[in-house]
Amino acid sequence: MILFPPAKINLGLSIVEKRNDGYHELETCMLPIPFYDILEILPSENFSFFQTGFKIPGIQGENLCEKAFRLMKEKKAVPNVTIHLRKQIPMGAGLGGGSSDAAYVLSGLNELFQLQLSNEVLENLAAELGSDCPFFIKNEAQMARGRGEKLTQMNLTLKGYYLVLLNTGIHVGTKEAYAGVTPSYKEKSLEVLLENPISAWQDLIINDFEASIFVNHPKIAELKNELLKSGAIYASMSGSGSSIFGLFKQEIELISCSEDLKNSLVFNGYV
């Protein structure tokens, strides 16, 4: 079985309040994009996990794919498998690649062994692995609230828009991202603001992490400005950073863009 876990982008991100459990209450719209890791799951006598592509740091046995398999085995006693992850989505980039991989392991095991678990059950399992993981079970535009696990389907599509996605390789840690944000309730909810035409989003749809992260990492802010100067109708940082994306009405010629932009490019194509 070969699967293609996608990356996601965030359309706006509002930090509403800090919760008693240490997490933050947030509101964001997440949307999958056609930029993928590659995941192979095969029945095997013994469990094994290996990865190629971008090297994932961390302790052996602690990758989210491995945790997803152990969680499913604990719940449903599934047979062993070999998992091969070809990592193509940059890590620590606000694109949700690791969460997507874990969710697709759960979905893949469900299909491979005909467990017939509903999306709701899979989302609840995914929530045990991480806040963004449940989003990738249905893999469609959704409003995320709570710490990101409370999902509501959105009637929103970017089909026909051209996406340019940049990543500088700058790592923005979660601690750094949240340290620079002051939670606040907004006058209008993000869901309401997204009902406006995309041409109006740039003045309305804000990622709360940008203000402090742009101060700490001006290179990220420069790339956002360059996308807007190149004709993007909307440009933003995704998640807690450090990826920047721009939406265009039509394909753009990147040959005339700066070397910084071209060197940071990780994906460009129609959504």
Q: Do 138 and 193 belong to one domain?
A: no
Q: Do 174 and 114 belong to one domain?
A: no
Contact predicate 196/218, CB 8 Å: no
User: What pLDDT was estimated at residue 184?
Assistant: 85
User: Can you tell me the distance from the alpha carbon of 78 to that of 94, in angstroms, rounded to the nearest whole number?
Assistant: 32
Q: Which residue has the tokens 């907004």?
A: 186
Q: Do 107 and 204 belong to one domain?
A: no
CA dist list (Å): 255 to 110, 230, 246, 259: 44, 11, 16, 9
Q: In terms of residue numbers, what domain contains 242?
A: 162-270
* 172, pLDDT greater than 90: no
Active-site residue, 101 included: no
- Single out the residue of 115, 146, 143 nearest to residue 30, CA to CA: 143
CA dist list (Å): 99 to 109, 136, 167, 203: 16, 8, 18, 30
User: What pLDDT was estimated at residue 79?
Assistant: 98
* 100, pLDDT greater than 90: yes
Count of structural domains within the chain: 2
User: What pLDDT was estimated at residue 256?
Assistant: 78
Q: Do 85 and 139 belong to one domain?
A: yes
pLDDT digits (tens, 9 = 90+) for 47-96: 999 999 999 888 888 999 999 999 999 999 999 999 999 999 998 889 99
Domain CATH for 241: 3.30.70.890
User: What pLDDT was estimated at residue 171?
Assistant: 82
Of 37, 87, 101, 132, which is the active-site residue? 132
pLDDT digits (tens, 9 = 90+) for 110-158: 999 999 999 999 999 999 999 899 999 998 999 999 888 899 999 999 9
Active-site residue, 132 included: yes
Q: Do 104 and 216 belong to one domain?
A: no
Q: Do 193 and 245 belong to one domain?
A: yes
pTM above 0.85, yes or no: yes
Q: Do 116 and 139 belong to one domain?
A: yes
Of 8, 37, 87, 224, which is the active-site residue? 8
User: Can you tell me the distance from the alpha carbon of 195 to that of 142, in angstroms, rounded to the nearest whole number?
Assistant: 14
Q: Three-state SS for 258? A: coil
Contact predicate 106/136, CB 8 Å: no
